[in-house]
Amino acid sequence: MSRSSSPSPGRWAARALLVPVCGLALLAGPPALAQAGPVVSPAAPAATASVALNHDLAAVKTSNGQSWRLSVADSSTPDTLTIGLVRTVTAGGSGAEEHIWYFDSPASSLAFDKSTGDGTVTGGSATSPLATVDLTFKATSHKAASCSSGSETIYAGTLSGEAKLVTGLTGGGTVGGSSLTFNAKGSAPEILVDSGCVPPTDDCTATTVFSSAVTGAKTEAAGSAGTESGKKFNLVSVARKVTFTSPKGAYRIDAALVTDTSPPSWDPKTDVLSVSTTSSGIVTGSATLSGGKLTTVSYPCSYSGKSYTITETENTTASYASPAGEAITGHTSLTGNLAAPSSVKAATYVVTTVS
């Protein structure tokens, strides 16, 4: 079954993880607090054009000689330009390391002409001195997206030009160049022109999500597991937010994630959610979420013409705790160990079942 888009009063009311989508889309697709690629709002106005390059990456090397993939995404709604670095990790468990820079960007940084299929993405002062972005998009095809109401046109094409990023990280150096081509296999750069597109709602899913985050937390652990379109997914990650004084409003999210661990286990008799990761992968450690006040809501969904009921149990006041020496920790090459707090008084989990 697919992810439900039915409304829910309690749907993930607390923040989900700081997990970016830039490289994560290559691995899994859980909820995200800060996404590296712009998400086009279903209710976006007709004039909205968004460049979404989550699958469209350019090969680069950091100063320590590691191979990474660089992604640039821009959106006029909201006005955000992001630059991300991602590398896959297989030692100790499949996962990834990601570093995503977010910039407040005026709508003029993204320009697209539907009649010619030509577009540009320009960083300018919004990304200086951390990055230089001057890219050209040329559409080679277009198609209509699937919408239950409204419309959206997807323009696929080529993206190339200058994209340089001063990482400021030990072993990172300056990546990118003046003549990059974004040509990830199996996918082409896209510009989405949205006019209030609402995706079809013929879907249901059973999921478990959790987050250790509390308001103001700089580092958090979170995860998502379930079955979507008949495929199981599971992810646990640790992420940290770093703010910059220049340019104004800029920040970076550093994240490590692992995708082949056991899914979180929830005991409805004790209301305890148990989370485990790996013993030697890019993310290690474990935690439990217990106590707090639970709320339960139910609402209908449909899949393949059949009706189902989703039951969602949410806890936004759970006690989060890791055993001594086993804090959920991301082990990154560019930002060292990212350790989530060992104890949090008001963490969140949501368990969704379908019947």
Query: pLDDT tens-digit profile of 34-46?
Result: 333 322 233 333 3
**Per-residue confidence band for 22, with pLDDT thresholds at 50, 70 and 90:** very low
> DSSP code of 333?
S
**Per-residue confidence band for 12, with pLDDT thresholds at 50, 70 and 90:** very low
> Which two three-digit tokens encode residue 335?
């930002």
Residue 8, CA distances (Å) to 91, 206, 215, 310 in order: 39, 14, 22, 10
Average pLDDT, integer, range 188-199:
84
pLDDT more than 90, % of the chain: 57
131, containing H or E segment: strand 131-144
**Per-residue confidence band for 315, with pLDDT thresholds at 50, 70 and 90:** very high
Average pLDDT, integer, range 328-334:
97
Largest CA distance in the chain: 61
pLDDT one-digit tens code per residue, 222-271: 999 997 767 888 999 999 999 999 999 999 999 999 998 889 999 999 99
Higher pLDDT, 166 or 52: 166
Average pLDDT, the chain: 82
**Per-residue confidence band for 9, with pLDDT thresholds at 50, 70 and 90:** very low
- Amino acid identity for residue 167 in this structure: T
> What pTM was estimated for this model as a whole?
0.84
174, containing H or E segment: strand 174-181
Residue found under tokens 């060292």: 336
Specify the pairing of strand 343-354 against strand 207-211: antiparallel
pLDDT one-digit tens code per residue, 40-70: 233 333 344 455 555 568 899 999 999 999 9
pLDDT one-digit tens code per residue, 333-352: 999 999 999 999 999 999 99
| Euclidean distance between CA atoms 278 and 197, whole angstroms | 40
Is residue 121 within 8 A of residue 81, CB to CB? The reply is yes
Is residue 285 within 8 A of residue 306, CB to CB? The reply is no
Higher pLDDT, 102 or 214: 102
**Per-residue confidence band for 160, with pLDDT thresholds at 50, 70 and 90:** very high
Specify the pairing of strand 174-181 against strand 251-258: unpaired
pLDDT one-digit tens code per residue, 105-128: 887 788 889 899 999 999 999 999
